[in-house]
Copies of this chain bind each other. A is one copy, B any other.
Amino acid sequence: MLTERQLLILKVTVDDYIQSAQPVGSNQLSKKSEIPFSPATIRNEMADLEGLGFLEKTHTSSGRVPSQKGYRYYVDHLLTPKPLPQQDIVQLRSIFEDKITETEEVIKRSAMILSELTNYTAILLGPDVGKHIVKKLSIVPLTADTAVAIIVTDNGHVENRVFTIPEGINSSDIEKMINILNERLVGVPLNDLHLRLEQETMTILRQHVKRYGELFTTLRKAAVLPHEENVYFGGKLNILKQPDFHDIQKIRNLMDVMEGVQHIPLILPVGTQGLHIRIGSENALSAMEDCSVITVSYDIGEEQTGSIAIVGPKRMDYKRIVSMLDILSGDLSKELTRMFRAK
């Protein structure tokens, strides 16, 4: 159990290191107004904190730096979320200032502004596209043998695929088919599209459209939606601004991870509620062992959720980021739900 004084010293040490990126010494600390103890006392306490694993030294006679355990304790017990300065709030709110009507736009913009405001990297995950509901299907012929299939969803998102029209299908076949599809499939969530396509439309199509088989296969392919598309990045390069990352090799590994879509679920676990902080090696990816990631979820309506992640050095300004994400996740939930309800 830590004493009051140890808590104070731990907190101030972490705060100072977060701010300065330099190991913190006892003299330095003793000069602060919050700390009314002599350097010697501070040294004793720091030695204890080091013994307990909260602080560590970069070398025998250096100042101290928070250990992973130190950050963790700080985040769990010492984080006093300071209110965000008005200016930051204004900038955050500017995301919504000109009436944007597309969810996607709002999220893109959030990623951008968040990264500018934090100087870290922001990753935003939009709501699961699979839950969006088909509003309209159409097929526009382009040439004799190609056409583009278009799916419009309830939130205004438009998916499209160009495909080759199988031999022996004429335009009246296509017209018939698209009518049938619209009758049967409007109102279905994209996730179920695949299934419902088979269940409900196959029999009818067979009756009305010649060569329905090939046309059907083509359509099925078009219905498989890319899932990567609703990940948005802001400030990928901000990592280069952090003094903590001086090793080009590490930067490369980190960026490689962020480029690779397959890693996103590991950085930003979907489906978790609320705010989470992962520090250093708590992250799933070894390339991120020098990073901290703060994630938070937001809701659209009752069913859909998205998430936000901020990736920065372990020496991240937790206080500030937590406050920001608190506000932003609230705002996003409110605004996007409003936009969604309107539909």
Q: Which residues of A contact B (CB under 8 A)?
A: 99, 101-102, 135-136, 138, 140, 142-146, 148, 150, 152, 154-156, 158, 160, 162-164, 236-237, 240-241, 246, 248, 251-252, 255-256, 259, 342-343
Contact A146 B156 (CB under 8 A): yes
Chain B residue numbers with a CB within 8 Å of A156 are 142, 146, 148, 160, 162
CA A276 – CA B155 in complex, angstroms?
45
CA A284 – CA B333 in complex, angstroms?
44
CA A158 – CA B140 in complex, angstroms?
10
Q: List 14 A-B contacts (CB under 8 A).
A: A101-B146, A101-B164, A135-B142, A138-B138, A142-B154, A142-B155, A143-B342, A150-B158, A152-B160, A158-B158, A237-B252, A241-B252, A248-B248, A248-B251
Chain B residue numbers with a CB within 8 Å of A256 are 237
Nearest chain B CB to A153 CB, angstrom units: 9
Contact A99 B164 (CB under 8 A): yes
CA A241 – CA B252 in complex, angstroms?
8
Nearest chain B CB to A120 CB, angstrom units: 15
Contact B343 A142 (CB under 8 A): yes
Chain B residue numbers with a CB within 8 Å of A255 are 237, 240
Nearest chain B CB to A243 CB, angstrom units: 10
Q: Which residue of B lies closest to A237 (CB)?
A: B255
Chain B residue numbers with a CB within 8 Å of A136 are 140
Chain B residue numbers with a CB within 8 Å of A148 are 152, 156, 158
Contact B101 A162 (CB under 8 A): yes
20 additional contacts (CB under 8 A) given A99-B164, A142-B155, A248-B251: A101-B162, A101-B163, A101-B164, A138-B138, A142-B154, A142-B156, A143-B343, A144-B342, A146-B342, A146-B343, A148-B156, A148-B158, A152-B160, A156-B160, A158-B160, A236-B259, A237-B256, A240-B252, A241-B252, A248-B248
Chain B residue numbers with a CB within 8 Å of A154 are 142
Contact B146 A135 (CB under 8 A): no
Contact B140 A152 (CB under 8 A): yes
Nearest chain B CB to A238 CB, angstrom units: 10
Chain B residue numbers with a CB within 8 Å of A155 are 142
Q: Which residue of B lies closest to A342 (CB)?
A: B143
Chain B residue numbers with a CB within 8 Å of A164 are 99, 101
Contact B240 A248 (CB under 8 A): yes
Q: Which residue of B lies closest to A343 (CB)?
A: B143
Nearest chain B CB to A88 CB, angstrom units: 23
Contact A135 B140 (CB under 8 A): yes
CA A145 – CA B343 in complex, angstroms?
8
Chain B residue numbers with a CB within 8 Å of A102 are 162
Chain B residue numbers with a CB within 8 Å of A142 are 135, 154-156, 343
